Amino acid sequence: MFDRMQKSFAVLAALAIMTPSSLPAIAQNSPQPAYAQVSTTQEGGFVLKTNAELVLTNVVARDAKTGEFVHGLKQSDFTVYENGKPQQITTFDYQSVEMAKPLNEATINGLAASPTGSGSKAVVVAKPEDLRNHRLIVMFFDLTSMQPEDLDRSVEAAQAFLRTKMQPADLVALVSLGDTLTVDQDFTADKNALINEVGVYNGTEGQGFAQGATSNSNQVEDTTGYTPDESEYNDINTDRELFALRAVSKSLERITEKKSLLYFSGGISRDGIENQASLRAAINAAVRANLAIYSVDTRGLQVITSTGDASTGSLRGSGAYNGGALLNNMNSNFASQEVMATLSSDTGGKAFFDSNDFAPAFAQVQRDTSAYYAVGFHSTNPARDGKYRKLTIKINRPGIKLEYRPGYYAPADFKHSGHEDRERELDEQLASDLPATDMAMYLDALYFRLDENRFYVPVSIIVPGSQIPFVKGGDKDKATLDIIGEVIDEVKRTIGSARQTVKLNLDPSLQARQRNIEYTTSFNLPPGKYHLKFVVRENQTGRMGSFEADITLPDMKKTPLKMSSIVLASLRQPSKQNTPLVREGEEYVPNISHVFRQDQHLYLLYEVYDPTRAKPAENQPKGTKAGINLLSSLELIQGSVKVYETPLVQAKATNVDGRDAVSMELDVPLNGLKPGPYVCQLNVVDDAGGSFAFPRFAVLVREAALSVPAAIPAAAPSSH
């Protein structure tokens, strides 16, 4: 409904630029694989770059015959291999709930406050050493995926565990995903508090079957008829669930002890490789946080039939008779469990499917975390390539079976990240409440009225060329920028978006490093208040910058003098576009920094809408149309002295077809002005209506830079 219209890029002369000034982390300080690199500087010195990443994995040693835990092992008993290469163990620890010290306080503050503002119910902060030898269990209820009966079953199982099986060494936290990701109860040993809080999920005050939730139970398809394509919805929904798991994992990184997450879900559907980046990110975050995920399919034991169940409509077609419907139902059920199984296997947990008894899941968590050896090493492989690295741990004693995580994903720098990871990083930065400041950028938005209920809103972004690492490609300076942005209305809805990858291929004579790169896009919006946010990333090192701005599009019905924004430009370029920024085949490129050189012109463009029409004089012939009389000029003031004023511009008729508007243009040569700051006052008078406006704005004039050629567009604008 809100169309993205025009995009263009221009290389502008070097100008001054302003530097732009979710789930909160539940914990900080993730373990990092260690390596060192030595590089030579241009001056001949050496710089030592170190990375102290610690790869940590938990090992459970059991007697191969009895299955009992084997105590008393030492660091020298273990050997760790990464992709077949031996690694030196640098940290070794043994933890057991039998050695847990009773806590004097009822609650432990490990999780952060809820993003909804309700806050964590934990009130006492424990020292890190107090968590040693305790079981740290997070119960995660995915309310968006469960039917009411599934939710009842999972809540009853959780309450039964808390009443009868929870031990003094257990510390439990509660997290739920409904409309938002919420920490409902911080780590606590208080059984009653946990039982009551879990009961809220399916009680009269609980979220229950959250609005917008979908069922992943058996869906009967007609293999001969039309099946709606829900892949895009499933992609978004799955990404949301995986992002929530990743957020919880990252928030627990500060706690070095082994942690377990019981994930109660009605299944996660994944379409092909669409969610691969999100899945890998969630797994990697859990591995780095030393968090094992135990997935529980709350749908329990299911009977998969060709005709489906009472939750679906009657089957039509021949699918019930040729086996097609049954195969579809089985594939759908398997696909919804596959992601949960992968989350568990790759993080060292276990998945529990096709059972109405959830007690084994709780028992497995307690069994796996009763006692374990924590083994850490610094990888000898310095590559930050994001590849999966297989772990193999051997013990020098016979008759012992080891249980441990099978591997981990190496950290990845920007150069080695894939397309899905890069897109995810952009999306996450766009959604983040924290600005990206690695790269300077500045944004401004203008508006022109198209009709009474619609505005044309050009958005301009400038990035200093000095911020972009251009590389030589033949006889050109080359660089690539990724740009993503959105427009949000007053009720927090995204009603406009922009996404483009820009390839710059510039002649070295343009001296792009000494100039600004300007990106322009546009939106059609109704009157109202809007929030704009854009993120720019240069694709050599992956540095990003973001900028946010608000814009109000006025309701002009009661405004005496109806005016657009005022465009200041130092460049006009040929264009075949049909937008308010184009006059007689030349497009005004907004100079949003308001910095000009003496060898440039200051061009002004603005529009006046619905000008007053004077009545024809009595002596005028019949049929004479009423005329208008708009007067305009620009004054430049330095200090308290007016140093320049343009000749008066007069308009006697509208000159914008179909919009009852007058487009006014002013041209101010700056070669006669001294360098320095100026205050500009634009005088606009509707003589026939007796209305007027005198907007003011600041500009800065700098000395002429004759060695720098005039600005040249980097790419011709294109219509969208």
Give the domain-ending residue among 389, 422, 454: 389
pLDDT in tens, 422-455: 888 898 889 888 788 888 899 999 999 999 899 9
For residues 449 and 377, state if they share a domain.
Answer: no
Residue 29 included in any domain:
no
379, 494: one domain: no
In this prediction, residue 384 has a pLDDT band, given cuts at 50, 70 and 90, of confident
Structure confidence at residue 589 (pLDDT) = 93
* Of 318-327, 576-585, 592-601, 678-687, minimum mean pLDDT range: 318-327
Asked whether the beta carbons of 485 and 498 are under 8 A apart, the reply is: yes
More confident residue, 284 or 602: 602
Asked whether residue 304 falls in the same domain as residue 197, the answer is yes
Structure tokens, 178: 């409904």
- Average predicted confidence (pLDDT) for the chain: 78
Do residues 144 and 210 lie in contact, with contact meaning Cβ atoms separated by under 8 Å? yes
Is 119 within 8 Å of 113 (Cβ atoms)? yes
**Per-residue pLDDT, 582:** 94
Q: Are residues 366 and 442 in the same domain?
A: no
> Is residue 164 situated within a structural domain?
yes
**Per-residue tokens: 40:** 């030579």
64 found inside a domain: no
Residue 88 falls within a domain, yes or no?
A: no
The rounded distance, in Å, linking the Cα atoms of 119 and 138 is 17
SS3 268: coil
Question: Is 469 among the domain residues?
Answer: yes
- 108-122, 404-418, 484-498, range with the lowest pLDDT: 108-122
Helix (H/G/I), strand (E/B), else coil: 80: strand
Residue 128: burial class (beta carbons within 10 Å; 0-12, 13-18, 19+):
exposed
What are the residues whose beta carbons fall under 8 Å from the beta carbon of 559, sequence distance 6 or more?
none
User: What value does the mean pLDDT take over residues 145-155?
Assistant: 90
pLDDT at 316: 52
pLDDT tens-place string over residues 544-596:
999 999 999 999 988 889 999 999 999 999 998 899 999 999 999 999 989 99
Q: Which residues pair with 59 in a beta bridge?
A: 373
- Res. 620 pLDDT band, cuts 50 70 90: low
For residue 289, name the pLDDT band (cuts at 50, 70, 90): confident
Q: Could you write out the DSSP letters of every residue in 427-454? A: HHHHH-SSPPBSS--EEEE--EEEETTE
For residues 713 and 9, what is the distance between their CA atoms, to the nearest angstrom? 7
Residue 249 lies in a domain: yes
The sheet carrying 89-96 orders its strands as 89-96, 371-377, 55-63, 400-403
Give how far the C-alpha of residue 126 lies from the chain's centroid of Cα atoms, to the nearest Å: 33
How many domains does the structure of the chain reveal? 2
Assess whether 277 and 371 both reside in one domain: yes
Would residue 284 count as lying in a domain?
yes
| CA dist list (Å): 441 to 465, 601, 652 | 10, 24, 41
What are the tens digits of pLDDT across the range 151-189?
A: 999 999 999 999 999 988 888 999 998 888 888 888 888
* Phi, psi for residue 374 in degrees, rounded to 5: -100, 115
If you count them, how many residues does the chain have?
Answer: 720
- 609: pLDDT strictly greater than 90: yes
Nearest to 82 by CA among 404, 388, 403: 388
Indicate which CATH number applies to the domain containing 175.
Answer: 3.40.50.410
Q: Are residues 445 and 365 in the same domain?
A: no
| Domain hosting residue 693, numbered range | 6-21+435-616+625-719
380 and 442 co-located in one domain:
no
Whether 352 and 491 map to the same domain: the answer is no
Lowest mean pLDDT among 2-16, 264-278, 572-586, 598-612: 2-16
Q: Mark whether 14 and 104 lie in a shared domain.
A: no
pLDDT at 307: 54
Helices 324-347 and 231-251, axial angle in degrees (round to 10): 20
What DSSP letter does each residue of 58-101 carry, written as one string? EEEEEETTT-PBPP---GGGEEEEETTEEE-EEEEEEEEGGGPP
User: Do residues 221 and 151 share a domain?
Assistant: yes
Same domain membership, residue 466 and residue 380: no
Is the per-residue pLDDT at 69 higher than 70?
yes
Does residue 145 contact residue 268 with C-beta atoms inside 8 Å? yes
Predicted local confidence at residue 305, as pLDDT: 55
Same domain, residue pair 384 and 458: no
- Beta partners for 655? none
Contact call for residues 395 and 89 (beta carbons, < 8 A): no
Rounding to the nearest 10 degrees, give the CA dihedral for residues 256, 259, 263, 264: -140
Last residue of a domain, one of 355, 389, 423: 389
| Stretch (H or E) spanning 700 | strand 696-702
Q: Are strands 259-265 and 291-297 parallel, antiparallel or unpaired?
A: parallel
pLDDT digits (tens, 9 = 90+) for 249-277: 888 888 878 899 999 998 887 654 446 66
Q: Find the CATH number of the domain harbouring 15.
A: 2.60.40.3880
φ, ψ at 193 (rounded to 5°): -65, -40
pLDDT at 102 over 80: no
Alpha carbon distance 55, 450 (integer Å): 59
pLDDT of 531: 94
User: Pairing state of beta strands 291-297 and 586-590?
Assistant: unpaired
Instruction: Say if 34 falls within a structural domain.
Output: no
Which DSSP letter does residue 286 get?
Answer: H
Domain final position from 351, 373, 389:
389
